[in-house]
Amino acid sequence: MKRTCSVIATTALLAIATHAGAQDPTPQPLGIGDPAPKIEVSKVVKGKLPASLDDGKVQVVEFWATWCGPCRTTMPHLTELQAKYKDQGVDVIGIAVWQREPTPQDRIQAVTSFLESDGWPEKTAYTLAVDEDNKMADRYMRASSQNGIPTAFIVGPEGMIEWIGHPMSMDEPLAKVVAGDWDRAAAKAEFDRAVAWERTRMELDKKMMERYTQQDWDGMLEVMKRMQAEAPKDEVLGLQMQEYRVLSAFANRPDQAKALGNRIYAEHSGDVMAMNQLAWMIATDRDASDPDLPLALKCAEAGVKASESKDPNMLDTLATVQWEMGDHAAAIKTEKTALGLLDPDDRMYPEFEAKISEWEIESSQKR
């Protein structure tokens, strides 16, 4: 799963963007097929910027921040792409945006210090710069309605934007742009649909929160149904999960929740992530007055089966459901199986170990 850091979801991050520099109130809209804005940054920390973006070469312009974990995860992959396409004239350019430091000098120093530490010089073998006043963030990110980092823009030989998206999804489009096989028209149509949906989603999210504040569950569920009808296919399941929680935890409609949960199970029982999410939500949601634990068990068992009992997180979810249903012996046994699949250095190992210890103590006290 590709992760991003949201840059508009919280008031705090909005404050960061505003504090870092005055935003352009009306950035020129930017989409696939449009000329790439000129790169103007305050500091190039590493490498060299191209003289222009229409020099007959393919450029990758990527936005990141030192505080963004998904950005750091992506950076070695950008290094691999730079090495792969070096002899074909491709330049990868990473631009740090939305830094939290109070002054331009502090923001530049933070990025410089980060890139000089902990092996990052080797992990970032491409051009890196600092957008300390967020001019580039305005002209690229805001202008194209991109709300999360890391985000990459592929710029073709003629200086036109060819693709916009998460850097970990960039391999295929980059290869096609370099080879001259890229279908810009198809990419533009897909991107425009995604941007239109994002705007619609933000409007509907606002309406949904208004209904939630008013505890207008009928109105909230009505908005959710509209969102599911208009959303891209790959987002519908997540919206159904949200609807399930509203039905079970807030609207107190267990029958409707049960019907929706069984529909999700019927359509996605082979999807480990979906089964894990639904089972875990049911078993751990303390707002639900009548949790459907039999459905949670059915989903957890389906997820374990689909993962061939090799996913420790899925087994942990099954163990949690078993514990909540009162089958403590089975829960402890399942959790030990999950623990056995983890390396002792895994960050989840102490958590699973502590859960087993806690359960064994509680179980012995009830005998």
- Residues in a beta bridge with 59: 91, 155
CATH of 5-182, one of 3.40.1350.10, 3.40.30.10, 1.10.1660.10, 3.20.20.70: 3.40.30.10
What are the Cα distances from residue 207, in Å, to 14, 216, 226, 240, 322? 21, 11, 11, 17, 38
Residue 45 DSSP one-character state: E
Residuewise pLDDT in 10s, the chain (367 residues):
456 676 543 333 333 444 444 455 668 899 999 999 999 998 999 999 988 898 899 999 999 999 999 999 999 999 999 999 999 999 999 999 999 899 999 999 999 999 999 889 999 999 999 998 899 999 999 999 898 999 999 999 999 999 999 999 999 999 999 999 999 999 999 999 888 888 898 899 999 999 999 999 999 999 999 999 988 888 899 999 999 999 999 999 999 999 999 999 999 999 999 999 999 999 999 999 889 999 999 999 999 999 999 999 999 999 999 999 999 999 999 999 999 999 999 989 999 999 999 999 998 887 6
Query: Which helix (DSSP H) or strand (DSSP E) does residue 62 occupy?
Result: strand 59-64
- Residues in a beta bridge with 151: 63
Contact 320, 280 (CB under 8 A): yes
CB neighbours of residue 186 within 10 Å: 10
What are the Cα distances from residue 192, in Å, to 16, 30, 233, 335, 363? 28, 11, 16, 46, 56
Conformational region of residue 323, where left means phi above 0, alpha means psi within -120 to 50, and beta covers everything else: alpha
Cα(245)–Cα(150) distance, integer angstroms: 30
What's the chain's Rg over C-alpha atoms? Answer: 24
Angle at 314 between CA 241 and CA 4, to 5 degrees: 60
Label the pairing between strands 148-149 and 59-64. Answer: unpaired
For residue 1, which amino acid is it? M
Q: What are the residue ranges spanned by the domains of the chain?
A: 5-182, 183-231, 243-365
Cα(86)–Cα(241) distance, integer angstroms: 44
CATH topology of domain 243-365: 1.25.40
Query: Which helix (DSSP H) or strand (DSSP E) does residue 46 occupy?
Result: strand 43-46
Cα(227)–Cα(221) distance, integer angstroms: 10
Cα(355)–Cα(46) distance, integer angstroms: 46
What are the Cα distances from residue 229, in Å, to 98, 99, 236, 251? 34, 37, 8, 21
